[in-house]
Amino acid sequence: MVLSPLCPPLRSVRLWNVKFRSLIATLTGHTAAVTGVSFAPSGSYLASCSTDMTVKVWNWKTKVLMQTLSWAGVQPLNSVSVSFDASLVAAGSNDNSVRVWAGPQSSSNPLGLQIGEGPRSHAPVMG
């Protein structure tokens, strides 16, 4: 499987079957260019980040949007990662800051951890 978020800049994530050269799914919902994608190693979850300042977590097998995480007041998001079991989601911004949220498989309350040079650095933030 191959992802194609940047060729050309798209507001969706396209999943491709490489063997058959066929489109498996298009995950839509971002309102600006998708700049990063990451699969949870456990299998079913995919996270995407965008210049719309959101991270979206999908169940790519069912094509269902599980979670939308917003991060206002920073420069565009450029990277995203999902923990093995999708309990944590992290995103990086062009201002050298990283924020971590509770993911869709988390049993805890939402996290509010942000580190780096961006707004509210080193201070807990909610949401």
- DSSP code per residue over 33-71: -EEEEEE-TTSSEEEEEETTSEEEEEETTTTEEEEEEE-
Q: Give the model's pLDDT for residue 72.
A: 79
* Cα 91 to Cα 59: distance, rounded to the nearest angstrom: 18
pTM for the structure as a whole? 0.78
Q: Give the model's pLDDT for residue 121.
A: 41
Q: Give the model's pLDDT for residue 43.
A: 83
* Domain over 10-116 is classified CATH 2.130.10.10: yes
- With the C-alpha atoms ordered 58, 125, 100, 3, is the resulting torsion angle positive or negative? positive
Domain positions in the chain are 10-116
Per-residue pLDDT of the chain (127 residues; tens, 9 = 90+): 444 544 556 888 988 888 999 998 899 999 999 999 999 988 889 999 999 999 999 998 899 999 999 887 778 899 999 998 888 999 999 888 899 998 887 765 455 566 666 555 444 443 4
Q: Is 43 left (phi over 0), alpha (psi -120 to 50) or beta?
A: left
- The answer, yes or no, to whether the previous bond of 76 is cis (omega within 30 of 0) is no
Q: Give the model's pLDDT for residue 113.
A: 60
